[in-house]
Amino acid sequence: MPTTSLEKYTHLKAHNNKNKRMKNVLRTAGLVLGMILFISNSAFAQSENNKDRKKPPTFEQLLEKMDANEDGKLSQKEVKGPLKDHFAEVDANEDGFITEEELKKAPRPKGKGKSNND
């Protein structure tokens, strides 16, 4: 234990410096931890978004939902949604019906926010 005033001052200053260093270490560790959590959370959210993206329905699924007369092909009157909007592009032989082969060969829709380079 310090006995003189100078020793007490030196001891208190050393103790104070030690506290400052500890605060700086804790502050830095907290910032690093916060950045790690933020980055990992962002990466996790992106991977979850990729998992949530639906695959396009199969032709069989489309037939089940839309083929009202059950003839095994889809007319322009039967289709709904994005397929109706792009019917002419998908109906390659322009016979007024979409067959499984035409659907397989049709250009795939671009996802939201994707550029042409993806």
Residue 31: the pLDDT is 92
- Residue 45 shares a structural domain with residue 79: no
- Residue 101 shares a structural domain with residue 75: yes
- The answer to whether residue 1 is domain-embedded is yes
- Residue 39 shares a structural domain with residue 73: no
Of 56, 67, 64, which is closest to residue 104 (Cα–Cα)? 56
Range of the domain at 66: 59-105
17-54 residue pLDDT tens = 888 888 889 999 999 998 888 888 777 666 555 555 67
Which residues are paired to 33 by β-bridges? none
- Residue 78 shares a structural domain with residue 43: no
pTM assigned to the model: 0.47
- Residue 25 shares a structural domain with residue 48: yes
- Given pLDDT bands bounded at 50, 70 and 90, which one contains residue 111? low
Looking at the structure of the chain, the number of domains it has is 2
Three-state SS at 101: helix
| Nearest-angstrom CA–CA distance, 81 and 68 | 15
> Is the pLDDT higher at 9 or at 103?
103
